[in-house]
């Protein structure tokens, strides 16, 4: 076996496996290198919400055909097998430190509507990956697990991939699908001039027996504003544990030096939200740390295509990852057919990246999700949440949320002007402030590493 392929994929997440599947379907020889031993083990934390059924995320309206066990991407024109569990949830509720609520979607009304009223559903990343691996194997894709890739570089006409164990692989093209902390992006110098905003650590537990007024909702408690703020998330899980409902309970924090376990305990045992966890039981621990960069504006270098989180701002979500994997796999197949073994051959991928990601989803808007808890005091957040009396549209897309917030804020400006002119002055500055300014402290506390080795 000489380890030479048409395509080498690094990373067996949703992006890499979808790319490998599509390339395999087109008859290419494909190798997937993955550092985990078991590809469908989910070691890195994930909320597993289906982002999104609304039709806004990257212009796609994802559907889940439960009867046939398919996740369908009708606008893009493909589907993936998914016959695992799902669970619908009906609203996104953001809780201020003092107990006010900002709500996207009215829980009771949406719940009554059933599927038609859901904000979205949660599903199982593990089952999605297991199905993709199975399909790839059927298509003759070669898997190399337990292989930590440490280098990728052009070697003559091919790309050479090197693992920590000293193995060498060569491909006409390679796909870097190694996630948010992409080592390939770093070693190939892709992060050099890339905006860096922060590092975020999330720590959490899957827990049972929570006492929530709205159990089938996404809850986001802000339990300390400031710089950095402390945010909790409570997300229903699709799978039960010994017959009991399970939620992912997590805290996210941009202060890397913090005692994350201590913050989790403070959130669940001492904060205003502690009563929700009185009888709760921890089932499984999980966590992750990752950097938040600007997107790659040109996700290609030396015959390596960057897909999914490797080239995104923070994260592509599983749906974004599979869409970019699908397009990248197809583009490599197209380049091979056309015998265009260079950037010219994979133009469709670069065009897709620009049209569906860069042009449709402005990462500066995404970063604004972090503004309010950093810039406002707890008292100010309480006041704003209390003053926004309306229920905001049911939404889950992090690129859509700031727009809804913006229109809700616009409606309450006359009230704020009268009651809290100082706050209005502060808010008016918000829109104009660039992320580099608002996030300057989080940028300093993060672990940006842009050197090449
Ligand atoms: C706290 C949190 C909550 C989230 N919640 C949601 C959610 O609710 N819904 C949603 O859709 N998305 C969510 N996401 C995002 C989602 O997990 C990612 O966007 C998605 O998994 C990206 O897929 P990917 O294939 O690009 O990367 P990944 O899923 O990260 O896969 C990368 C793969 O590459 C492998 N790898 C990495 N480095 C190497 C190396 N050097 N050599 C070999 N292999 C390597 C990894 O082991 C991994 O298998 C969440 C993420 C976080 C952090």
205-264: per-residue pLDDT in tens?
A: 999 999 999 999 999 999 888 878 889 999 999 999 999 999 999 999 888 888 999 999
Q: Cβ(318) to ligand 1 under 6 A? A: yes
**Residue in 40, 43, 46, 253 to alter for ligand 1 test, most ligand atoms within 8 A of Cβ:** 46
pLDDT of 450: 53
pLDDT of 360 above 70:
yes
C-beta separation of 211 from 234 below 8 A: no
Domain boundary among 329, 358, 387: 358
Q: Which of 245-249, 406-410, 435-439 has the highest mean pLDDT?
A: 245-249
pLDDT of 354 above 60:
yes
Q: What are phi and psi of 86, to 5 degrees?
A: -140, 160
Token pair recorded at residue 227: 């710089």
pLDDT of 448 above 80:
no
Are 128 and 118 contained in the same domain? no
Are 411 and 302 contained in the same domain? no
Are 216 and 274 contained in the same domain? yes
Å from CA of 76 to ligand 1 middle? 21
Q: Cβ(311) to ligand 1 under 6 A? A: no
Cα separations in angstroms, 51 against 119, 323, 395: 10, 12, 10
**Measured between alpha carbons, how far is 429 from 380 in angstroms, rounded to an integer?**
15
**Measured between alpha carbons, how far is 367 from 435 in angstroms, rounded to an integer?**
7
Token pair recorded at residue 174: 């390679």
pLDDT of 275: 97
For residues 20-27, average pLDDT: 98
**Measured between alpha carbons, how far is 330 from 55 in angstroms, rounded to an integer?**
23
> What CATH number did the domain enclosing 94 receive?
3.30.9.10
| Sign of the four-CA dihedral 265, 249, 294, 376 | negative
Å from CA of 111 to ligand 1 middle? 30
Q: Cβ(12) to ligand 1 under 6 A? A: yes
Picking from 79, 291, 335, the residue whose alpha carbon sits closest to that of residue 191 is 291
DSSP string, 12-56: -SHHHHHHHHHHHHTT--EEEEESSSSTT---B----B---SSS-
**Measured between alpha carbons, how far is 353 from 360 in angstroms, rounded to an integer?**
10
Q: Cβ(308) to ligand 1 under 6 A? A: yes
- Output the furthest CA–CA distance in the chain (Å, rounded): 76
Query: Of all atoms in ligand 1, which is nearest to the CA of residue 16?
Result: 25
Q: Cβ(398) to ligand 1 under 6 A? A: no
> What CATH number did the domain enclosing 51 receive?
3.50.50.60
Beta-strand pair 120-123/86-89: antiparallel
Q: What residues are paired with 173 via a beta bridge?
A: 7
Give residue 96's domain range: 86-122+197-291+363-448
**Measured between alpha carbons, how far is 357 from 298 in angstroms, rounded to an integer?**
12
Q: Cβ(204) to ligand 1 under 6 A? A: no
Q: Cβ(48) to ligand 1 under 6 A? A: yes
Chain mean pLDDT for the chain: 94
Are 351 and 391 contained in the same domain? no
Å from CA of 106 to ligand 1 middle? 31
Query: Does a structural domain hold residue 453?
Result: no
**Measured between alpha carbons, how far is 127 from 337 in angstroms, rounded to an integer?**
32
Are 201 and 278 contained in the same domain? yes
Question: pLDDT confidence of 167, banded at 50, 70, 90?
Answer: very high
For residues 172-191, average pLDDT: 97
Are 47 and 148 contained in the same domain? yes
Question: pLDDT confidence of 435, banded at 50, 70, 90?
Answer: confident
Q: Cβ(323) to ligand 1 under 6 A? A: no
Q: Percent of the chain having pLDDT more than 70?
A: 98
**Other Cβ atoms within 10 Å of 68 Cβ, number:** 11
Q: How remote is the C-alpha of 163 from its chain's centroid?
A: 26
C-beta separation of 197 from 281 below 8 A: no
Are 268 and 306 contained in the same domain? no
Token pair recorded at residue 93: 């509720």
Token pair recorded at residue 395: 């939404």
Q: What is the pLDDT of residues 248-273, one digit of tens each?
A: 999 998 888 889 999 999 999 999 99
Query: Of all atoms in ligand 1, which is nearest to the CA of residue 150?
Result: 41
Q: Cβ(15) to ligand 1 under 6 A? A: yes
Are 29 and 61 contained in the same domain? yes
- Mutual angle of helices 378-387 and 421-432, in 10-degree steps: 90
pLDDT of 266: 94
Q: Cβ(149) to ligand 1 under 6 A? A: yes
Q: Percent of the chain having pLDDT more than 90?
A: 82
Are 154 and 273 contained in the same domain? no
Are 132 and 225 contained in the same domain? no
Nearest residue (CA) to ligand 1, atom 33: 11
**Measured between alpha carbons, how far is 183 from 159 in angstroms, rounded to an integer?**
16
Q: Is 3 helix (H, G, I), strand (E, B) or coil?
A: coil
Q: Which residue has the higher pLDDT, 55 or 254?
A: 254
Q: Which residue has the tokens 């810039």?
A: 375
Question: pLDDT confidence of 453, banded at 50, 70, 90?
Answer: very low
Host H or E run for residue 98: none
Domain count, the chain: 2
Q: Where are the alpha helices (DSSP H) in 388-447?
A: 401-419, 421-432, 435-438, 440-445
For residues 289-302, average pLDDT: 95
Q: Cβ(316) to ligand 1 under 6 A? A: yes
**Measured between alpha carbons, how far is 279 from 373 in angstroms, rounded to an integer?**
29
Q: What is the pLDDT of residues 299-342, one digit of tens each?
A: 999 999 999 999 999 999 999 999 999 999 999 999 999 999 99
Query: Does a structural domain hold residue 221?
Result: yes
Domain boundary among 358, 379, 396: 358
pLDDT of 444: 80
pLDDT of 451 above 60:
no
**Residue in 47, 51, 311 to alter for ligand 1 test, most ligand atoms within 8 A of Cβ:** 47
Query: Of all atoms in ligand 1, which is nearest to the CA of residue 163?
Result: 42
C-beta separation of 332 from 346 below 8 A: yes
Q: Cβ(176) to ligand 1 under 6 A? A: no
Å from CA of 183 to ligand 1 middle? 13
Q: Which residue has the higher pLDDT, 437 or 107?
A: 107
**Measured between alpha carbons, how far is 334 from 327 in angstroms, rounded to an integer?**
10
**Residue in 35, 39, 132, 307 to alter for ligand 1 test, most ligand atoms within 8 A of Cβ:** 35
Question: pLDDT confidence of 17, banded at 50, 70, 90?
Answer: very high
Domain boundary among 358, 373, 404: 358
**Residue in 33, 58, 318, 363 to alter for ligand 1 test, most ligand atoms within 8 A of Cβ:** 318
Are 278 and 131 contained in the same domain? no
C-beta separation of 205 from 286 below 8 A: yes
Are 105 and 39 contained in the same domain? no
Cα separations in angstroms, 246 against 107, 219, 278: 19, 14, 15
How many Cα atoms sit within 13 Å of 316 on the Cβ side?
30
pLDDT of 449 above 70:
no
Å from CA of 200 to ligand 1 middle? 14
pLDDT of 452: 42
**Measured between alpha carbons, how far is 159 from 172 in angstroms, rounded to an integer?**
6
Query: Does a structural domain hold residue 367?
Result: yes
Q: Cβ(122) to ligand 1 under 6 A? A: no
Query: Does a structural domain hold residue 69?
Result: yes
Query: Of all atoms in ligand 1, which is nearest to the CA of residue 122?
Result: 8
């Amino acid at each position: 076996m000489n380890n030479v392929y048409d395509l080498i994929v690094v990373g067996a997440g949703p992006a890499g496996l979808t790319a490998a599947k599509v390339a395999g379907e087109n008859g290419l020889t494909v190798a997937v290198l993955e550092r985990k031993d078991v590809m469908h083990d989910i070691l890195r934390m994930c909320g597993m919400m289906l982002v999104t059924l609304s039709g806004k995320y990257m212009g796609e309206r994802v559907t889940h055909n439960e009867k046939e066990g398919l996740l369908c991407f009708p606008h893009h024109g493909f589907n993936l097998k998914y016959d695992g569990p799902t669970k619908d949830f009906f609203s996104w509720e953001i809780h201020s430190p003092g107990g006010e609520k900002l709500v996207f979607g009215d829980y009771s009304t949406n719940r009554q509507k059933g599927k038609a009223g859901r904000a979205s559903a949660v599903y199982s990343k593990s089952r999605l990956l297991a199905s993709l691996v199975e399909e790839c194997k059927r298509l003759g894709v070669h898997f190399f697990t337990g292989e930590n890739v440490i280098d990728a570089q052009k070697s003559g006409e091919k790309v050479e991939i090197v693992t920590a164990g000293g193995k060498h692989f060569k491909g006409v093209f390679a796909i870097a699908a190694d996630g948010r902390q992409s080592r390939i992006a770093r070693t190939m110098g892709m992060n050099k001039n890339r905006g860096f905003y922060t590092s975020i650590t999330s720590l959490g537990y899957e827990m049972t027996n929570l006492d929530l007024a709205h159990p089938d909702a996404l809850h986001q408690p802000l339990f300390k504003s400031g710089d950095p703020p402390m945010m909790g998330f409570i997300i229903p899980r699709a799978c039960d544990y010994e017959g009991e409902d399970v939620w992912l309970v997590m805290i996210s924090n941009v202060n890397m030096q913090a005692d994350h376990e201590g913050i989790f305990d403070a959130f669940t045992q001492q904060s205003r939200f502690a009563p929700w966890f009185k009888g709760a039981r921890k089932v499984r621990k999980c966590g992750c740390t990752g950097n938040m960069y600007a997107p790659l504006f040109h996700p290609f270098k030396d015959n390596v295509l960057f897909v999914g989180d490797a080239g995104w701002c923070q994260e592509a979500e599983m749906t974004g990852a599979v869409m970019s994997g699908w397009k990248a796999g197809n583009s490599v197949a197209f380049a091979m057919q056309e015998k265009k073994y260079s950037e010219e051959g994979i133009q469709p991928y670069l065009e897709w990246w620009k049209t569906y990601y860069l042009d449709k989803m402005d990462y500066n808007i995404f970063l604004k999700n972090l503004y309010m808890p950093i810039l406002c005091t707890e008292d100010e957040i309480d006041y704003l949440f209390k003053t926004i009396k309306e229920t905001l549209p049911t939404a889950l897309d992090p690129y859509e949320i700031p727009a809804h917030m913006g229109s809700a804020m616009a409606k309450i400006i006359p009230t704020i002007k009268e009651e809290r002119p100082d706050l209005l002055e502060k808010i008016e500055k918000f829109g104009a402030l660039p992320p580099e300014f608002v996030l300057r402290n989080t940028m300093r506390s993060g672990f940006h590493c842009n050197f090449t080795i």
